Amino acid sequence: MAKQVAQIIQDYLEQAALERRYSEHSLRAYRHDLKEFQDYLAEQGVRDPEAIDALLLRGFLSSLLKKNRKATVGRKVAALRACFNFALRKGWLSENPAALLRAPKLEKQLPPFLSEGEADRLLIKPLDETWLIKRDQAIFELFYATGMRLSELAGLNWPNIDFSIRMVRVLGKGGRERIVPLGRVAVKALREYQVAVESAGRTSGWKGKDPRIVFLNRSGERLTDRTIARRLKKRVLEAGLSPTISPHALRHSFATHLLNAGADLRVVQELLGHRSLSTTQKYTHISLGQLPEVSRRSFPRP
């Protein structure tokens, strides 16, 4: 049974990657979620695929709720449903045992975000002039200026940035591309970092490294999502801001400040790379009915 389940999971993930249905981050999460379910089946001694029923799944759900947030459990339930649907279409299961499985109801909580004053505090330019400090400054400015996801910013390459027209081409979820404008402050931070990192590369002898990668570590390799999040956390604490501020909080701040300045909700939807307008609306703190009444102003950071 374990081998059969492992093969189903592997085939499902390979197919999802081939169809570019999910981002790399989502695929990693689903891979982890489905492996966790596979381990649970082994603990229960389940060997027959048809023995996977609603009762077994509710037991799995109960075990998850003891050690995970409701949102995380909801994602794991979605992973199970999708994988079982795949197996059903392939004829490997006679029915989807997770079809009626309900994810835990989430309390409606707005993600944390910065006020404009807090954003200014976060983005105060440090006196230190090392290339690593310039790199971090460019990262934070870019987060706030574009609303990029963490994975999008980490995967950024220099050819995606057009300094002449102050635009960046972002590769988003599912391989979808979008064009996002850059403010003058973000462009200046990127230019200063570009000069500094090229000098550091010559000094450190980063031969054979990919010159297209924007954000590098000390070894000349692409900076990881985790390292970027850790660098932001350090700056947040140094600025005396809430430790809940994350890359996603900067994305939320970007959207909220644009809308508060009078930007059209559909424009913000496009900038964030959302397929659904309702997804964008969750980032806001004003209703659709209020938007036409808000005077149109420029984004707080030029």
Q: Could you give the residue numbers annotated as active site?
A: 149, 173, 248, 251, 274, 283
CA 256/CA 286 separation, integer angstroms: 9
Nearest to 288 by CA among 257, 262, 270, 265: 265
CB 79 within 8 A of CB 33: yes
CA 156/CA 213 separation, integer angstroms: 7
Angle between helices 2-18 and 70-89 (to 10 degrees): 90
CA 61/CA 38 separation, integer angstroms: 13
DSSP 3-state of 216? strand
Query: Which class for 121: exposed (0-12), middle (13-18), buried (19 or more C-beta within 10 A)?
Result: middle
Tokens of 141: 């400015």
What torsion, rounded to 10 degrees, do the Cα atoms 157, 163, 167, 168 define?
10
